[in-house]
Structure 1
Amino acid sequence: MGTVFSAAAAGAALFAVRRANNTADSVARIERDRWHTDLTPRLHLEIQQNPHLRLAARFDGPAGLRVLDRLVLTIRDDRDRSRDNQLAGTATPEQMAAIIWGPYQFRPRMQGVDDTGRVAELTELHLDDTWLLALDPSMKPRWYEGADGHQRWHDQYDGTPLRLWAACHATGHQPWTLPFTITPPTPPEATG
């Protein structure tokens, strides 16, 4: 009888230990998530025209983070075109994906910018540091042909916001991916 009681007590103790470990793991996970949220980087992104078009990216905090090892800015399209119907004789999905469907692109191959002008990778962005990235108007697709193709493209995106993903990487932390929608400056002649 004593052996049965001891086995039952040992089983109950083992169950209690497992339950306590699961609770401790849950609390630790909640605390890590809260801490990660508290350390979400604050970025100030602004389009400037002074005198050239550029994106100013400033790391504003939090003070507990102090430095971003890497900041990857990716220009987002104005909308998701991956599910658009493909008509015969139109652009392929790959050709559609290669176009930046928005007002601006980064100047390719400058300051950590890829060949497409879609992605800029900045390293070691310290608290209160500002990086300046040259912007150019996005390039119209080659199938925007005809005399009015360039003008149609320009009219489609004139004054529209630049949409970005900002992937923030800091040693010892899971990355943060933040969305941004940045309104371009109003041209001086429009403020008249």
Structure 2
Amino acid sequence: MGTIDTGIAAAAALFSGVAAMAAYKTAKEANRTSASVAQIERDRWHKEMTPQVEVRFDDSRGYPELLVQFLGPAPLMRIEAALRIRDDKERSGSQIGGGPTAQQVADVIWGPYRFRPGVDGADALGRAVAPVALLHHGHTRFALEPTLAPSWYASTQTWRAEHDGKQLRLWVQCSAEGHKPWLLSADVSTATSGLTQLQRRVVAS
């Protein structure tokens, strides 16, 4: 092979390599775009499938209860809902010397009601209940009771005056087969019986 032929062959190899690299980059970018579009679609579908859950405070039977109903969307058919009471505000800041410890503060349910400990799957503090299965348009009830004033409070009367009639704040984590969980929140009025529509806040990872 002559010098010219060798040069032509080398140039052809170079152009071939450049073309191959360009094709690789194009394919890689296409895959990245495709993956991005697919993720956007999955996120959209996940948002559309956010469970519609209604929570109601009810004392019509002579004692306080929390009614939870799964309204849809119908394609989910069945969800598991795990309820947890949130405090009235963030209380994890620095503690005053000689006052309650961070753990003591965390053990207090800062709000008007707690789940009745040991009933309906409630834990010992009455902060959370075990997950419960709900079918489409199905509902369940959870027993409630007034929260307890912490030992360092001036009096039970002071505690009740500060919390009676206030909203019961909740986290509700919903899960369904084939979907990532949803984390919902609600502020439920306890002044009078009524419905509160849960609002989607964050998607649990």
TM norm structure 1: 0.92
Letter in 2 for 1:168: C
Question: What is the alpha-carbon root mean square deviation over aligned residues?
Answer: 1.2
Output the amino acid matched with 1:54: E
State whether structure 2 residue 44 is matched by structure 1 residue 37: no
Count of aligned residue pairs for this structure pair: 182
1:170 has 2:176 as partner: yes
Name the % identity: 41
Q: Following the alignment from structure 2 to structure 1, what is the Cα–Cα distance between the partners of residues 192 and 36?
A: 50
Measured in 2, the distance between the counterparts of 1:169 and 1:4 equals 55
1:50 alignment counterpart = 60
Contact kept? 2:53, 2:69, Cα under 8 Å = yes
- C-alpha distance in structure 2 between counterparts of 1:88 and 1:186, whole Å: 39
Unaligned runs of 5+ in 1: 188-192
Match of 1:15 in 2: 25
Match of 1:32, SS state, is: helix
Distance 1:178 1:124 in 2: 16
AA aligned to 2:54 is H
Report whether the alignment pairs 1:128 with 2:137: yes
Q: Spell out, residue by residue over 1:46-65, the C-alpha distance to the aligned partner (whole angstroms, 9 max, x if none).
A: 00002221000000101111
Task: Name the CA distance, whole Å, in 2 between partners of 1:122 and 1:54.
Answer: 17
| CA shift digits 1:97-129 (9 cap, x unpaired) | 000000000011122211110001233211111
Between the aligned partners of 1:169 and 1:150, the Cα distance in structure 2 is 38
Is residue 49–residue 185 contact of structure 1 (8 Å, CA) maintained in 2?
no
The equivalent residue for 2:202 is none
After the TM superposition, which parts of structure 1 deviate over 6 Å for at least 4 consecutive aligned residues?
none
Question: Residue 27 of structure 1 aligns with which residue?
Answer: 37
Partner of 1:19, secondary structure, is helix
Q: Deviations over 1:9-49 (max 9, x none)?
A: 10010001000000000000000000000000000000000
2: distance between equivalents of 1:185 and 1:92? Answer: 31
Q: Distance in 2 between matches of 1:174 and 1:152?
A: 43
Check whether the contact 2:166–2:191 (CA below 8 A) recurs between aligned residues: no
Post-superposition offset of 1:185: 4.1
